[in-house]
Amino acid sequence: MESVYQLIFDELKQATRASESKCQTVATRISDEVSRICTESQRIQASGDVEAWSVSLSRHRLKQCLKYYELGSHRGRVELHSGLSAVIYRYITPPQVQASYQARLTLIEDFLQGFYIEALNAFRRENQMPLTYCPRSLLELAEYMAFTERYGKRRIPLPGRRTQQLIILRAQTFSQQQPPETLVDIEQAAEGGGDSDGRNALSIPQVREQMLAQEPELPDDALRKTVIKALMQYLEERQQQDCADYFALRLQDLPTSEIETLLGLSARQRDYLQQRFKYHLIRFALSHNWELVHQWLEADLERNLGLTMQEWQSFSDRLTPVQQQLLRLKQAGTDDRTIAQNLDCTPTQVQKQWTKLLEQAWEIRNHLISGAGASTDE
């Protein structure tokens, strides 16, 4: 299994921006899981080619982990949530209840919150980790999301030589435990109706709140909220309230047509507003508050602006001597006024040069410049 571990570690090191220690830890967990599966599986042991199986299983897990890593924290969670929702959609409502589409979505949301907690506990247990463990870095979060996907799709043996996915069995049990009156309350609440006394209407929301309270907020979540708050403040300070309103609606994942209706805009006016918002967003991310945004994207200076080793080399080769000196001073934590003195220019010129440098890194990171090495976009 040493060769399997080395394969996983080398790939993680090359394809992610995680530290070497993080890559070692994740590679160890994946290789240990693969070793355990190969040892316990009679079919693999009887195949006569355990090594080929271990490599195949390792590559599969590595591919899953990197998929969620490249998607990033937010898009990765959306991808996982959507995939699992599609699997359980037809199983989540008891047959005797004709629930509306919105009511079923609410139940799916409640079920998955509990399932994520179960998956985290299983992840801790199978990797012999403390009960307080939570993924902290993007790589650890990607590892957990990949595990959750596999955990949900595990085949559980049933009578009659049948099998079923674990998440479907959990969803069926969850649905059978829902009292009919609670489902009615959910449906009425979703449609704006229901009894005024609300005796049962709080049961499911209370369960949801309790589940959320059990799952501690990840540092990435808190940082995302800080970025959103800072961007809102930036827009309001520049009297761009319409852009702030547009951003607030975008955060709710509303369709374009609904955004246009709520803001009272034509399609052309909404397109113009979207372009103006994009302009301010880029200014915010690359100049006004670049350190906060790049920290959130795990693309700060300590992580080579989010570039892999190959991309960083390609990026460095493109810099002028002045830009290279600017980068070294920024990495050393030098303030703009001192940098301006060193480069014999004004602080404003330093800011403009730094913005151009960040734009170049952004283009490489998002593959707008070819030949930059491995894919690590977030």
My answer on whether 30 and 146 are in the same domain is yes
My answer on whether 208 and 231 are in the same domain is no
My answer on whether 312 and 277 are in the same domain is no
My answer on whether 259 and 313 are in the same domain is no
Which of 296, 320, 347 is the last residue before a domain boundary?
A: 296
Q: Which residues of 92-104 are buried (b: 16+ CB within 10 A; e: fewer)?
A: bbbeeeebeeebb
Q: Say yes or no to pLDDT of 4 above 70.
A: yes
Give, as one character, the DSSP assignment of residue 43: H
In angstroms, rounded to a whole number, what is the distance separating the alpha carbons of residues 49 and 64? 23
Confidence of residue 289 (pLDDT cuts 50, 70, 90): low
**Torsion region of 128: left, alpha or beta (phi above 0 gives left; psi -120 to 50 gives alpha):** left
**Domain hosting residue 316, numbered range:** 297-378
Q: Say yes or no to pLDDT of 75 above 70.
A: yes
My answer on whether 208 and 313 are in the same domain is no
**pLDDT the model gives residue 314:** 77
Contacts (Cβ under 8 Å, ≥6 apart) of 343: 322, 325, 326, 349, 350
**pLDDT the model gives residue 278:** 80
My answer on whether 118 and 265 are in the same domain is no
Which of 265, 296, 327 is the last residue before a domain boundary?
A: 296
95-121: average pLDDT: 78
Which of 264, 296, 328 is the last residue before a domain boundary?
A: 296
In angstroms, rounded to a whole number, what is the distance separating the alpha carbons of residues 318 and 307? 14
Strand partners, 162: 158
My answer on whether 141 and 261 are in the same domain is no
Domain count, the chain: 3
Q: Say yes or no to pLDDT of 197 above 80.
A: no
Q: Which residue has the higher pLDDT, 215 or 319?
A: 319
**Digit-coded pLDDT (tens) for 231-253:** 888 888 878 888 888 887 777 66
Amino acid occupying residue 34: V
My answer on whether 67 and 52 are in the same domain is yes
Percent of the chain topping pLDDT 90: 21
My answer on whether 154 and 180 are in the same domain is yes
**pLDDT the model gives residue 140:** 94
Q: Say yes or no to pLDDT of 367 above 90.
A: no
My answer on whether 96 and 241 are in the same domain is no
128-157: average pLDDT: 91
